A and B are shown apart, each in its own frame.
Chain A
Amino acid sequence: MTRKREKRKPPKSISVVERHTDIDEKNEADEEDENVYFNTIEEEDENSASDSELEDDSDGETEKVLEDFVDEVNSEEYSDSDEHNEDDNLESANDNVNKADSVDESESDNELEEDDSYESEEVSSAPESDSDSDQEEKIKGPLKNKQLKQQSVKVNNKLSKLHQNGKNKFQNENKEFPSGKDEYADGDTSDEEDIRNTIGNIPMKWYDEYRHLGYDWDGNKISKPEQTDTIDNFLRKIEDPDFWRTVKDPQTGQEVVLNENDIELIRRIKEQKIPDVSFDDHAPWIEWFTSEVMQMPLRKFPEHKRSFLPSRDEAKKVSKLVHALKMSWIKSEEERRKEKAKKEPQFYMLWQTDDQSEEMRRIHKHIPPPKRPLPGHAESYNPPPEYLFDSRELKQWNKHKETPWKRKLHFVPQKYDSLRKVPAYSRFIKERFLRCMDLYLCPRAIKMRLQVEPDDLVPKLPSPRDLQPFPTLLAIEYKGHTDMIRTITTDKTGQYLASGSDDCTVKVWEINTGRCLKTFKTDAVVRTIEWCPNEKLPLILVASGRKVILINPNVGDFLQNIKADEILKEKPQSEVIVSDRVKTTVRWDDPTEEEYEKGFRIILSHFKEVTQVTWHGKGDYFASVMPDGQNRSVLVSQLSKRRSQLPFAKSKGLIQCVLFHPSRPFLFVATQRHVRIYDLVKQAMVKKLMSNSHWISFMAVHPGGDNLLVATYDRKMLWFDLDLSTKPYQTLRLHGTAVRAVAYHRKYPLFASGSDDGSMIVSHGMVYNDLLKNPLIVPLKRFQDHTTDNDFGIFAVHFHPLQPWVFSAGSDSTIKLYSN
């Protein structure tokens, strides 16, 4: 519409206006675009037709409308104040319009509050033109004809747009709008006048002080329409039948009479109906997207790109198929049909044997059954006469009745005149059966047998030759004891050896010559002896019966011996009160005069029999074991303070053996099945080693302290790597009988074990400083020199402290030294 109006207008307009029309155009274009979706094509055609009609008519009736319009403008002032009081209907209509508009423009709210004018609200939604300030001075008097015309057209325009704004979301029925004929019938030609808002979308109150309202094309002021007072309004209300539907355009200050359509629209909005009359809210529902599966489903979104591209996977399959067709591996339907047409009779090999058949080839390394020899002349029904048996041959044949495999032929050739006279073969079934049995029982595939040399299973160990030195030669026997020797120990320099025996004596030997230097008689069987590791205290700790005796053997450095005696003579005075528990367990006694002469220095009387004693590495503390002592079975005593303590409150089982860690304050306690490691400083258990055996007999700790060797009565030796695990690093089953003694060498990577069968095994046990490298264990040599007595063999093994030599003591009351 606007576009046409534009054409008609003289090209007088300044650039500002041009721009405005552009905006207008755009707005309209937008509206049209929106309408495209909703309007049917016919509607649009009609619409455009009515537009042109309207344009043509308006030109002719310009002057006629002028007077009316002036009236309208005058009446505006009156309606300003009282309108809403008197006409509820209109008010509410305006209200509704406001509501509809406020969705789009928030500005209108402000205007409503400040201006208090409903009219202004009505048109605020319409597109507004820029104001031309130049025209302010020029227009002051009564409006020119042309101007009035313009204004009325503008108002109409706005109204039409108001309509559209109200219903553009739903639909518009341009068929009835604007109902041009009705308008002209009323004599209202205001829509022809090009009256527009020349001040733009600004609050109207800014013009309150002025008498004009914006400027016209020529820069003259457009004077405000005359303000009507309340009396005028009242008079008009009575006189004017259209007063109720007259509203004031806030933009121009002119009064506008709403037409029927507007009224209807407002009414519908008020009733909260869809403003569009033509909209059928009960129209049948078209299911664009339905749950029903359709043959050709309607989908709004486009297909994905890949659905248009040929699939590579399928292309591969197709190419395979094409290749197969080319190679005539598969046949087309036609070819197949052709083949079917010339169908030949199907044959199968009647005489095919299973060795030729296809499925037999699939058996891996299949052995075909041996072929039966072809029948010869003898088998013929009509053999040549030389094949027939004569009497001698027949006799020979019959002779082998019991041993049929010795016969040359397994049948007697028979001669018949013709084939039909040949009788049925009597052994046919039997022979078939035997043949089947042969085939069934005979292995028909090559059996894969694992060829394992026993040597391959033995782990690769270095040759003992490369692990020298180790003891190889029985060098010296130390004879003198009269009963089995349970324990041996050496002094630190490697000069003396001490042994304790069931004949209740402790003997000190010179290692290099085998000379018995000293003999100490005790009251009971000597179970364990150990030389003090402290060089300044040349004492032997002896466990004999219920007593633990410290003996000064008086060999070696005499000055030191005297000094040690002096130290021991000074009894330390301690204030510490000994608990009853300890008191009842052990009693520190001084030896009698007689005993002192013998070399006894201190005697500890225990409440139960002591089976084992062991020194701590520093030679001040020693531990004694009484397996029958229940929760008092382990006693740790301190020599310098002459004090004992019971480290364990609870009994963990029958204690076999205890050992001090060579460098750390740990105590290894072996019960029958487990080895527990206690931290004596923290008073806590550090580790519990699972021996997985039934009865531990003895144990030895590696001088490094990280490896423990445990001997068991169930013939095993267990090597524990304490850093590795609580389970044995290796279980050595070298002995055939109970292992009673194990020992580590202090310097060389050697360990030895002695068992009840009188054999001692020396092994290489290398512990590497590299933590990642596991210990290397190689059994080196077995010595079987001890004679067994009462099923007891070797009781003790002990290494020479400096040389790679080993001592073994056994039930045959001898000690043997093996040297390299």
Chain B
Amino acid sequence: MENIDPSSESQLHIRLITKQEQYAVPDIPYSVPATIDTIGLNTLLNALLKEHSDQHKKQEFDFIVNGELLRVLLVDHLQEYGLSVEDIVTIEYIQRTPPPQPEDALLHDDWISGIQVNGNWILTGCYDNTVNVWSIHGKHQASVSGHTEPVKAVHWLIPEDPSAGFATVSHDLTGVLWHWEPGSKEIHPCIALRGHERPIECLGINTERQRIVTGGWDTHLKVWSSSLEHDTEEPAHKRFKGMSSRVPLFTLLGHKEAITSVQWIDTNEVCTVSMDHTIRLWDMELCGLKNEIMGQKAFLGASWSPLSKSLITCSADTRIRLYDPRSVEGTICKTTFVSHTLWVTAVAWAQHDEHLFMSGGYDESVKLWDTRSPKAPLYELSGHEGKVLCVDWSNPKHLVSGGTDNSVHIFKNKKTT
């Protein structure tokens, strides 16, 4: 390949295409200097668009060359991927994801280890054994202290329906299903999930099947019913802290170390990641192990996207990895995202975009990623002053994260299409 001197005025021929029709430009080759970067291409594209329609407002675009976002000079990008500079380079452009705007910070009494947004309500689990509900506008709605140990994960039972209640799991070996009427200050514990032998670390809920799966330090994956109705009328003395207790429907054994995250892939499949370096897929119909993927490092968190049908995991080695757990051939790890400097403990897919996800790590940063840009995140959302323990992007409009600085940071995402 030619080694082009950046100072020389060599020209490249490019072709600009897009899938967003409102920003389409004529499909003709343009000649641009080889050293053009995103800013230059933006100027060019905006000029072209302006030629076509007068109403065009200046827009920021991102350019995808060879499936990856252009972040350096075009010629360097081509060199890195070994593409010829003689041919016409096809550049796809997309509207740039707008930077999330910091909106609010919700101050708690202790570390926040679990968070989930449902509509306008933010549910947080706290190290001071409390579960809190906040409105998205930063108003503390309700708080309850039902657990005796730190709450590790929280999950709404039905997305888009806060009235259905939520589930929390804690280090006190129990999970609790809570009933909460939106707007009320009272949270009622309904059912205690008792069966784990060691602290519970994570939970996942499948609404269709009304199932909860939990995993923890006893390496067991336990499946429970998520219905809020009491199974049987129990005598009052058998109740656990005023709740009727529920035992797991079944227990799946297989992991050798703590399960750090469970994700429902579809109604029949659950994916777990564990500290024992494995990702396991479980069949919920047959109650058995379906597939096992060996990783390199201990997994600390994972998130499944039904849009892109892939799993992102975060490990103790500062990397975020994108897996396609269903593929059986080739490398199962598709992409590795490198930017964090310390452990990454939480990742969450965007619910509206198959390319976007966010991550939070011990380096006190929350990052917004595009899967097409593995070397650098789109945005770094600063604000945390401690380790980030949990992130959530269930509501496309809001990116939330909680950490050891006792605060939940809310970032507003403008573009939600």
Contact = CB atoms under 8 A, between A and B. Distances in A.
Interface in A554-577: 556-560
A475 interface: yes
A803 B298 contact: yes
B199 A476 contact: no
Interface in A532-561: 556-560
A478 to B, nearest CB: 12
Contacts of A805: 316
* Interface residue range, chain B: 20 to 34
A512 B300 contact: yes
Interface string B309-348: 0000000111000000000000000000000001101000
Contact of B316 (A475, A493, A557, A560): A475
A706 to B, nearest CB: 26
Given A802-B257, A820-B317, A476 B362 contact: yes
Contact of B198 (A475, A556, A803, A820): A556
Nearest to A819: B316
Interface in B192-214: 197-199
Given A556-B217, A557-B173, A557-B198, A513 B316 contact: no
B42 to A, nearest CB: 37
A473 B316 CA distance: 9
A512 to B, nearest CB: 7
A513 B275 contact: no
Contact of A494 (B218, B257, B389): B257
B173 A513 contact: no
Contact of B317 (A473, A476, A512): A473
A514 interface: yes
Interface string A792-820: 00000000001101000000000000011
A560 B197 CA distance: 9
Contact of B199 (A475, A514, A556, A559): A556
Contacts of A802: 257, 275-276
B362 A475 contact: yes
Most buried by B among A495, A512, A556, A802: A512
Dominant SS at the A interface?
Answer: loop
Contacts of A608: none
Band of interface residues on A: 20 to 34
Contact of B297 (A513, A558, A820): A820
Contacts of B150: 515
A495 B298 contact: no
B281 to A, nearest CB: 23
A513 B387 contact: yes
B365 interface: no
Interface string A507-520: 00000111100000
Contacts of A558: 172-173
Contacts of B411: none
B217 A513 contact: no
Contact of B258 (A473, A475, A495, A559): A495
Interface in B241-288: 257-258, 275-276
A475 B298 contact: no
Contacts of A819: 298, 316-317, 343
A327 B257 CA distance: 93
A494 B275 contact: yes
Contact of A495 (B217, B296, B404): B217
Contacts of B298: 803, 819
A559 B218 CA distance: 13
B414 to A, nearest CB: 33
Contacts of B389: 513
A351 B27 CA distance: 98
Contacts of B304: none
B224 interface: no
A219 B323 CA distance: 140
Contact of B197 (A473, A494, A559, A820): A559
Contacts of B276: 802
B127 interface: yes
A257 to B, nearest CB: 134
A512 B258 CA distance: 11
A476 B150 CA distance: 19
A820 B316 contact: yes
B258 A513 contact: no
Given A475-B362, A820-B297, A515 B127 contact: yes
A819 B197 CA distance: 27
A493 B198 CA distance: 10
Contacts of A556: 198-199, 217
A556 B127 CA distance: 15
A819 to B, nearest CB: 5
B139 to A, nearest CB: 28
A513 B404 CA distance: 9
18 contacts: A469-B296, A469-B297, A476-B343, A493-B257, A493-B258, A513-B113, A513-B389, A513-B404, A514-B387, A556-B199, A556-B217, A557-B197, A557-B218, A558-B172, A802-B257, A802-B275, A802-B276, A805-B316
Given A512-B300, A513-B111, A557-B197, 17 more contacts: A475-B316, A476-B343, A494-B257, A494-B275, A495-B198, A495-B199, A495-B217, A513-B113, A513-B387, A514-B404, A515-B111, A515-B150, A556-B198, A557-B173, A557-B198, A803-B316, A819-B343
A-B CB proximity, top 4 nearest: A819-B316, A495-B217, A475-B343, A557-B197
